[in-house]
Each structure stands twice: as structure tokens, then as C-alpha cells.
Structure 1
Amino acid sequence: MPPTPPADAAPGLIDRVQSFVSENRTALLVGAAVLAAGGAAYYASSSSSSSSSGAERKKKGSSKPTSGKKKPGAKSVKDADGPILEERKPKAVAEESNEDLEVVAQTPEALAAMSVDERKELAASYKTKGNTAYTSKKFAAAARLYTLAIEVSPKPEPVYYSNRAACYINMTPPLYDKVVEDCDEALKLDPNYVKALNRRAMALEGLQRHVEALRDFTAATILDKFTNQSASQSVERVLKKLTSAKATEILASREPRLPSYTFVSAYFAAFRPRAPPKVSEPPSTGDNTLLLALDALKAEDYPHALSLVNEALGQDISTKEARAEALNLRGTFRFLTGNVAEAQTDLQDSINLLPSFTQSLVKVASVHMEQGDPSKAFEAFDAAIAQNPDDPDIYYHRGQVLFIMNEFGDAAENYTKSTSLDDGFVFSHIQLAVAQYKSGNLANSMATFRRTLKSFPNRSEPQNYYGELLLDQSRFEEAVEKFEKAVELESNKPHHPNVLPLVNKGLAIYQWKQDLGAAERCCTEALGIDPECEAAVATLAQLSLQQGSIEKAVELFSRQADLARSEPELVSALTYRYASEAQLEFMKTYPGMAAELRAMAMAMS
């Protein structure tokens, strides 16, 4: 994460969006509920199909899967909740544990001569022997016995297919395709068969069919009323595999592009304005193109500025100061588009041309932080201070790095140093107040904000971030008042207004009054101004989940993934998207569960 200014609130705001879901998930179903709520202790069901309550399971004598030490030479069992736990065995069965497991299949003629009851009894005896073989970890023999049970049974029994699937999953190597086939048959006969869902999910995970595995683990979790901890953990595990792989695939194929206007403008606003570089007289073609790029940057026309600076660097720029400026600007755009390696090259070339160019050194520090190397970031800050110890931008951005590292006291010292060198930069004051707040100095923080509001009456940022601190204290009415003032000030800007106060206002209204409609209107208005504002998209997606509009939520989470700048943000968006899709699939498969599922979600809120 680059050391961006407080005006770039999108990452922190998105965190708040997702945390408010866990705090207000009245209508949230499995998507966030599984992720946030997890499950209670797991008890293996002793029924042959759908799950029972925890009390019923305990009454039937089922227990948690054991995880004790294995005996030397013992084979591990991948499906701990195996066939032996499908049904309670009657006493007579327990006495047959030493019976020979080798049996002869019945001929068609023999079967034809049997009554329905005789065939039922014979199938049950094969199943009992299969259970005994499974307990002894003789999985091939057990599978054969369950096959015989299937063949002789007068009608299809889901338990026989599910038990055989448990054998296949424990073979070496596991026969995942056969597991899926058997569980398909079991679930055709009993769609609520939780064990068959879990077994099929395990096999699908083994086959790397993660979307389908997530679907089944999700269904099993809901049908077990969120009490199955194992299934809940499986949802999280499969989601992690699925989203990590998908994020890697997306990032490898994605064309570099600028993030939203809100993000880019916030990043450039974090650096104090500087005079344009000196060029020759008359200016060269490259000089003129560069000056046009800087004019476009000042006008906040970022795509045009990017195009022009690329063009300028292919032309004849007359002075090393101007070329260093062009390399700095192109390196900044490359950094913002996620091209970190080439950004570092441009910024280092800028420094090589002009070692006193402290802004390039500060931005190199941002690159090192993005690469997870704070020690090199601080080396870059030290080099910048050696060149110009009176540059206030150095201390502001060093404070940002310390803030990211949760070193709030040291961060506050750097913000104070920055303001002592130039007290006209609003973000140093704002971030000082935020650092004081994070340090637990509430009185100092509020006093700093009040001074900043007085010193910068025409800036929206102090209003917006003071509102955030008020919101954090549940002072909702005051927070909304500050956000509305920020929105008013932003509307007076000659260029695109910053839409984050609108998103903050929507969140505040929702947390204050549970007014989903008003919150949605704020975010929709924000997207009308900045269609690529990730925070607004993320908030609308979560609000859609709150209302049970799962299809709309999936669409918005997909949009959030498209807008995500970094891998963690992309993984987060994909996690909600796939969890929501699994929930949607459940609702289609089990339409009668909608009301019950909503009641469960409300009980978890």
C-alpha cells in the first residue's frame, strides 16, 4: 500500500464497509455469514440424510471426529465422518464384527425368487458388513459390499451410494470422479443429504473444481444451520483457494489502467504544488509536450496527462531538470497503474539525473513500501533529507509510512515537523489529528481537527475526516452534518468533486437509522460523479446483500473486482462475489429454504 494521503480514503473506507456488514448483517445470508460468523462445534449426524439439531445429535450418541495419534502403520481416513456413523447399529450388528467379509453376489435368479422384505434384509446385511470393513479401513472390500447392497436393494437407498463414496475418497489414490458420481445419485434421492454434499464437495475440491466445491460446502453449512464447524472451515478454505487462483489469473492478464479519479486525485494532492521545471528558450518540442502534460495534470485531466508525458519522453526534452520531471510523472502514473517495477526504474532514472529531486526519492519510498520493504523506504527518506532537510513533503510521507506501520506517535512527530515547515498543507493537519486519535489522545485529536476546520474553512477534507472520527464514536447526527458540509464544499469545485463524503454520508445514515434507501441513493449519486469509485461500488454491493438482492450483489462485487487496484483488494471482492454466487445457487436449489435462511441470518445478527 503506497503512503497515500488521508484524502485517499478508499482502502480504509472499504474496510469500514465490510466491517459494518458483520455488525449489521440483519438480512445477510451465507455469503458474509459464513465468513464472519463461522460455526459452532461440529457433531457428526447419525441420520442417513439431512442434519439434526445439536441436541438431537448428542442424544443419538454421535461425537466430534477424533484427532488422536494414529497407531503405527495405521492408514489415515480422509473422510472421518465415514459410513460407520451413518446410522446407529442395532445390538445384533455389533456382535457380527468378526464375520467373514468375503461374500458371494446373488444371481439374478436368486434375487428374482426373493420377496421385497428379503431383499431389504439382504441389502442391509451387505451394508452392515460394509460398515465393518470400513471401520477396519478395508475400503475396497467395503465398496464392494455397498455395491452389492445397491444391486440387491428393491429400491435405491441414498445411504448406500454415500457410503460407497466415502470408500472411494479414502482409496489411494482417491477415486474422486466415482465419489462425485455416487454422491450425485444419493442427492437425487435426497437433496438434503448433508453427508453426501460434504463428500461430493471434498471430491470436487480434489478435482480442483472449486466453484462447485464451494457450492456444496455452502449448501451443507446452511442445511446444518451453521452448526457444522468443519463445513464452515471448508467454505473458507475453498474460497481462499478459488479467489487466490482467480486473482493471480486476473492480474496476469489485466491491462494496466489508471484507478478511479477519486484515487488518482488524492494521490497527487498529497504533494505540494511546485513550479514547472526550467526549459530552454525557445522550448523544444519535448519541452512543450511536457508543459502541456503538466497543465493537464493541474486540470486533473489524468488520462491526457499520461498520454502527453509518454509522448514527451519520446521527444527532445532540453534540460535534465525537465527530463527528471517527466520521468517522475511517468513513474508516478506507472505506480498508480500497478506497474511497480517500471515505476521504480523511471523514478530512479529521475534521481540519477537530478539527485536533489526529493519528490522522486519520496515516491521511491512508496515503491519500496508497495514491495513490502520498509527499511529501504526509510533509506529513501534519509537520502531525501540529506538533499533537502527543509522539504515538508518528506516528513509528511514518512509520517504516512509510520502510520501504515501503526507507529502513530512517530507518525505524529513527522506530521508536526511537516506543518512547522509549511502550515498551509491541509493534509498534514488532518493526518496529525488522525494519528492522535489512533494513539488514544481523543481530546488532542478533536482539538487539532477544530483548529484545522477553522484554518481551512473552504476545504472539504477536514469536514469529511472529522466526520469519520465522529462516526467512529457513534455520534451519527454530528457526523452526517460534517459529511453534508464536505459534499457542499466539493460541489463548488471547478473540476470533478471528491465523492467519498457522499459514500461516508450513506454509511453514516445506514448505521444511524438503518435507512437502506438513503444509503443507496448516496452511493448511486457518488457513482454518477465518479463511475469508478470502488468505495461506492463496495458499499452498494454490501447494501444489496443486506436487502437479500443477491443477484445485484454478485454483479456489484464483480464490478468491485474489476476496479480493485491491488491483489488483497481483488481477493476481498472475489471472496464476496463467489460466496454470494454460492448463496444464490443454494436459493435456486432449495427455494423453500428462503424464509428459514433469512430467519437464521437475523438470529446471527
Structure 2
Amino acid sequence: MAESAPAPAPGIVDRIQAFVEEHKTAVLIGTGLAAVAIGGAAYYASTSGSDGGRDRKDRKKAAKPPKKRKSVKDPDGPILEERKPKVAEEELVRPDPAALAAMSLEERTALAASFKSKGNGAYSTKKFDAAAELYTIAIEITPKPEPVYYSNRAACYVNMTPPKLDLVVQDCDEALKLDPNYVKALNRRAMAFEGLHQYTEALRDFTAATILDKFTNQNAAQSVERVLKKITGDKTTEILSQREPRLPSFTFISAYFSAFRPRPLPNFGESPTTGESTLLLALEALAAEDYHHAVSYVNEALTQDISSDEGRAEALNLRGTFRFLTGDIDGAKADLQESIRLVPSFTQSLVKVASVHMEQGDPAKAFECFDEAIKQNPGDPDIYYHRGQVLFIMSEFGDAAENYTKSTELDDEFVFSHIQLAVAQYKSGNVANSMATFRRTLKAFPTRSEPQNYYGELLLDQQRFADAVEKFDRAVELEKLKTPPNVLPLVNKGLAMYQWKQDVGAAERCCNEALRLDAECEAAVATLAQLSLQQGKIEKAVEMFERQAELARSEPELQNALTYQYASAAQLEFMKNYPSMAAELRTMAQNMP
């Protein structure tokens, strides 16, 4: 995980997720991992499908199968009427066309139903080929097409070896033409699409079946989750293999660099080499928050002549940092380790490589780096601040607070050590101490926006909405004095206005203003996407989730955004295919606990 400025309490991303959790029923299938969030506990049996009032006796008999009967490959089960131990050859013979022509409609309907019943008997004894043939005869002779005939034949195709999945899709297509609300056929077709690796179509059908079943079917919900994971996993791999490394938003980068105390520029003497001069340009651009030029200059400097180990270590540190920010974890690790090899006492490189180890899920290695950094320079306050950050990520809030305190003892002019100490105290349950620390920090740093912003987050967490908005407004005003400003206080204010007054318009205006100032602010995009879902603006939500995926820095962030995107798109397709259900869908969401 990237270490940044203080981890908010709870952070903005955490609170966006909390917002999603609070309103998960309202956003329905469009929420990330909605399949888990809103799935019910009902069974997934043959009675789950719609048959327009047909075959109620069939369903009653299906509810009590013989105890020794083993399930077949179709978890949705057939619609069973009779149980025949054998299928006689004569039962598979089609009726004489002349005899059929002489029958009344009622007689042909009854005859077709008898073949369907025989098919159910054959299915119950796992004679799938014979059952399929019997259902085929029923389809051919019935004067009125019945969706259950096609669906049952599809169940036979599912259970053949190998399964005839293309025929399953064709039969379910026919069943759904006759009854678009036939949940059983939707589930069967979805299973066939999944088997054919047509995951988008499978997600569409599983989503429709879940909604039509009013979210009471846990297995259907799990199927949505399963297919979503497959789609987004494959798409994530594809995107990352093709994506060119790029910097995240200004807000993200500035937060990261602000978590390190400023250091003086290296002194290369009166006659620096070309590479050293270029490195100085990179560091000056960094100080001016001109990140794109800083990247360009440092890359150029490393291709030129840098005469000293210290200068090259500095350049590798900076390039490694930018590689880390673009998601090139292996490249970042290589640069930072080479920087440490050249200058073992370069504690900032040690601290940053600890972040790389955390990103790779290896906290033990991260702490080894901190121990080495302390061994090299025990008086560097950055070491303790960032070790506190790692402990905070691990929810070791007491130990984190000790490290923040040590950092402030070594240098009490670094605002983030004070802020993060207050946050850690809050997370530990020491609310009074936390608030006192924040009030002292506000007094000590009256021109900094960060204490106002993060104090506002704590007030928001306590539902002190008016006080929180006041702090966010103050932070916004202070940020206006900077070019460009940090826009997180605007996003925070938007969330506060929604939680306080359910003022969607105010929340959207804040986030749109944030995007005007920083077009790549991930938090603003994510919040707008969730607000769109909450209002049922699914098309807008899909658009915003696509944008969120474009901005995602890491693999987990990308997969999460894609999960929202594809789940929302599936819900949107349902609403287009079932327009009469749109209003009911909204009502169901509002009435769910």
C-alpha cells in the first residue's frame, strides 16, 4: 500500500466504501460485490423458475425426490412429473401425422403433455438422450409452444457427456421468447454461457435471474459474484498487460511527497556534470510540484554522467519513487535497492523500499528496512513517521502512536506526524486525547489546510455534521491559496452534505468542482459513481466507473472499479430488457433491510 499523507480516520476511500455499505440495497446489483451484499438465503431449486402458473403438480412432486436419487449436473433441477424406471422404445416413436391431424387442440395438448411427462421420467433416471428426444416430440406436436418443454430439454443437454451447451442456449432462447420472466431458463442459459466462457452474457442472465427472484436466492447471487470475478480478473490482466505506466492524479502524488520532510538540494560544487545539473532540475521541478517535468528530468539525468555515488543514489531514489507511484513495483524496488547499495545510509530510500515490501505483502521485510534505517540514522524523524504508517495499516494503533510521538519529538514542525498521532489515538478509542491533539495542531499550524480537513473527518465520523462542514470549508479556503490546490476537502464536504442532509446536488457539485481542479481525482470520480447508483442513474454510474478504472493505479484498485462497472452495466441491461421492472427495482431496494 502506498504511504501518503495521514491515513484519514476513517479515510475518504474508507468512507466511500462505508457509503456503499450503508446504501448497498439501494444500488442493488450495481454495487461492487453486490452479489454477496444483497443475496438472500433461499434455496435454489426447481420451483424458483416462473412457469406462468403451469405444472404446479409437477413442482409438488419435484419437492420430494427419492432419497437415494443423486443429483445431476444441473443444480436448478428438472421439472418432474412421473418417475419411470425404464424408457420403452415405443415411447420414443412420434405419433402418426395423420392421427395428429385428426385430433382436437385439446387432445394434441394432452398428448404433448404426456410426452413431456415421459421425458421427466427419463430425466429422473438420468436417461438424458431419451428424455431430450421425448421433450422434442412434445415440442413438435404441441399446438401451443410451452417454455417448460424447451427448458427441460435444455436441462438434458446440460447433463449429457459432453454437455451440448450451444443447444442449451438455443432452447433457453426459445423458452425466454415465450416467457421472458422464466427464471429457470435464465439460470440455465447463464450456466451454459459460463461453460462457453461467454462471461458477459452469463453475468447478464444471472443478474436478471437474481433481480426477478427479488434477491432471495443465495446461489444465484453467488453466481453473479463468481462470474464477476472471472470477468474482472481477465480484464484486469488484459488492461495491465497493455497499459503504459502513467502518473496518478496530482492530489495523490502531492499527498505522497508531502509525507516526507523537505531536504536541501544536493551540493555538486561549482561545476556539476551534465547529469548532476539535470538532476537538480528534476528536484527543483519536484519542489514546484511539477511532477511530469520531474519525471522527465530524472529519467534523462540517469542516462547522463553523474560523478558521485551520492548523486546517483539521489536520482535512483527519485526515479524509484515515480515508478512506485505508477505501479511499477519491481522497477521501483530495483532502483531503491541500488540507491541503498550506493549509499547504505540513505534512509529515505530505506523507508521507501519498506513501502514496496508492504505493497508486496511482506511486512517483515518492511520492518527490517526500518530497523536498518534507524541503525544508519536514529535521529531521522521520517523513519518513525513511516514506520508508524505501516503499523497503522496493520491496525496496531498504539504502536503507531508511539512512533508518531517519536517523530514529533525529533521534529515538531512536521504537521502530518501531529495529525496522524491524533488519528491513531482516535482509532484506539482515545477520543478525548485525539480531539485535544487536533486542537493543538490546529493552533500550531493555522495556515495549513490538512489539520482542518482531517479534523473534519473525525467530526464527520461522529456525525457532527455542521462542525465537519465548517472544517472542510476552512480547508477549501486555505487550499485556494495554493496552485494547484488539493481537492480532497471538497470531496469530503460533498460526502458530508450527503450524509447530513441527503443533499445529492450539493455532493455532486463539490465532486464536480474537485474534478474541474484535478481531472484525475480518484476519490471524486468514485464518489460521483456511487451517488449516480444511489439515484438510479445507472448509465452515468457506468461512465464514472469506467473512468475510475482508467485512473486505478494498482491491480486491486483496477479490479474493484471493473467489478462496479460490469455489475452496473448488467443492471442497466436488465432495466432495458425489463423496462416495466425499473420502478419495482427501485422500490425493492428501498424496502430491503
Q: Give 1:249 deviation, angstroms.
A: 1.1
Q: Give 1:13 deviation, angstroms.
A: 1.8
Q: Residue in 2 aligned with 1:39?
A: 40
Using a 3 Å threshold, how does the CA distance of structure 1 residues 64 and 540 change in structure 2: closer, same or farther?
Answer: farther
- Gap runs ≥5 in structure 1: none
Q: Distance in 2 between matches of 1:193 and 1:548?
A: 25
Matches within 5 A, 1:168-567: 168-493=157-482, 495-567=483-555
3-state SS of paired residue (2:41): coil
The one-letter code of the counterpart of 1:581 is A
Using a 3 Å threshold, how does the CA distance of structure 1 residues 306 and 262 change in structure 2: closer, same or farther?
Answer: same
3-state SS of paired residue (2:519): coil
Q: Residue in 1 aligned with 2:4?
A: 4
Q: Distance in 1 between matches of 2:587 and 2:138?
A: 40
Q: Give 1:107 deviation, angstroms.
A: 3.4
3-state SS of paired residue (1:40): coil
Q: Give 1:75 deviation, angstroms.
A: 6.1
Q: Distance in 1 between matches of 2:409 and 2:389?
A: 17
Question: Aligned pair count?
Answer: 589
The one-letter code of the counterpart of 1:445 is S
Using a 3 Å threshold, how does the CA distance of structure 1 residues 157 and 63 change in structure 2: closer, same or farther?
Answer: closer
Residues 3 and 404, structure 1, Cα contact 8 Å, conserved in 2: no
Using a 3 Å threshold, how does the CA distance of structure 1 residues 35 and 15 change in structure 2: closer, same or farther?
Answer: farther
Q: Give 1:2 deviation, angstroms.
A: 2.3
Q: Residue in 2 aligned with 1:24?
A: 23
Q: Residue in 2 aligned with 1:108?
A: 97
Percent of aligned positions that are identical: 74
Q: Distance in 1 between matches of 2:39 and 2:459?
A: 31
Structure 1 vs Structure 2 CA RMSD? 2.4
Q: Distance in 1 between matches of 2:360 and 2:409?
A: 31
User: What TM-score, normalized by structure 2, do the two folds share?
Assistant: 0.95
Using a 3 Å threshold, how does the CA distance of structure 1 residues 174 and 214 change in structure 2: closer, same or farther?
Answer: same
Residues 509 and 515, structure 1, Cα contact 8 Å, conserved in 2: yes
Q: Give 1:79 deviation, angstroms.
A: 1.5
Q: Give 1:526 deviation, angstroms.
A: 0.2
The one-letter code of the counterpart of 2:38 is A
The one-letter code of the counterpart of 2:253 is V
Aligned counterpart in structure 2 of residue 78 of structure 1, from 73, 81, 103: 73
Pairing 1:150–2:151 present:
no
Q: Distance in 2 between matches of 1:62 and 1:461?
A: 68
Q: Distance in 1 between matches of 2:400 and 2:393?
A: 9
Q: Distance in 2 between matches of 1:51 and 1:469?
A: 54
Q: Give 1:561 deviation, angstroms.
A: 0.5
3-state SS of paired residue (1:28): helix
Residues 48 and 159, structure 1, Cα contact 8 Å, conserved in 2: no
Q: Residue in 1 aligned with 2:573?
A: 585
Using a 3 Å threshold, how does the CA distance of structure 1 residues 20 and 51 change in structure 2: closer, same or farther?
Answer: farther
Q: Give 1:170 deviation, angstroms.
A: 1.5
3-state SS of paired residue (1:424): coil
- Gap runs ≥5 in structure 2: none
Q: Give 1:411 deviation, angstroms.
A: 0.8
Q: Distance in 1 between matches of 2:499 and 2:584?
A: 25
Q: Give 1:84 deviation, angstroms.
A: 2.7
The one-letter code of the counterpart of 2:143 is P
Residues 44 and 65, structure 1, Cα contact 8 Å, conserved in 2: no
Q: Give 1:488 deviation, angstroms.
A: 0.8
**Greater shift in the superposed pair: 312-321 or 382-391:** 312-321
Show CA shifts across 1:401-443 (max 9, x none): 1111111111111111111111111111111111111111111
Residues 243 and 574, structure 1, Cα contact 8 Å, conserved in 2: yes
Using a 3 Å threshold, how does the CA distance of structure 1 residues 183 and 65 change in structure 2: closer, same or farther?
Answer: farther
Q: Give 1:136 deviation, angstroms.
A: 1.4
Q: Distance in 1 between matches of 2:211 and 2:514?
A: 35
Q: Distance in 2 between matches of 1:412 and 1:140?
A: 70
Q: Give 1:12 deviation, angstroms.
A: 3.8
Q: Distance in 2 between matches of 1:516 and 1:59?
A: 50
The one-letter code of the counterpart of 2:502 is Q
Residues 206 and 223, structure 2, Cα contact 8 Å, conserved in 1: yes
Using a 3 Å threshold, how does the CA distance of structure 1 residues 463 and 64 change in structure 2: closer, same or farther?
Answer: farther
Residues 48 and 183, structure 2, Cα contact 8 Å, conserved in 1: no
Residues 58 and 79, structure 2, Cα contact 8 Å, conserved in 1: no
Show CA shifts across 1:546-602 (max 9, x none): 111111110000000000111111111111111110111011111111111111011
**Greater shift in the superposed pair: 114-123 or 180-189:** 114-123
Q: Distance in 2 between matches of 1:341 and 1:595?
A: 50
Using a 3 Å threshold, how does the CA distance of structure 1 residues 224 and 271 change in structure 2: closer, same or farther?
Answer: same
Residues 79 and 170, structure 1, Cα contact 8 Å, conserved in 2: yes
Q: Distance in 1 between matches of 2:3 and 2:354?
A: 9
3-state SS of paired residue (1:498): coil
Q: Distance in 2 between matches of 1:159 and 1:393?
A: 69
Show CA shifts across 1:463-516 (max 9, x none): 1111111111111111111111111111112x2111001000000000000000
Matches within 5 A, 1:154-165: 154-165=143-154
Q: Distance in 2 between matches of 1:47 and 1:233?
A: 15
Q: Distance in 2 between matches of 1:590 and 1:105?
A: 38
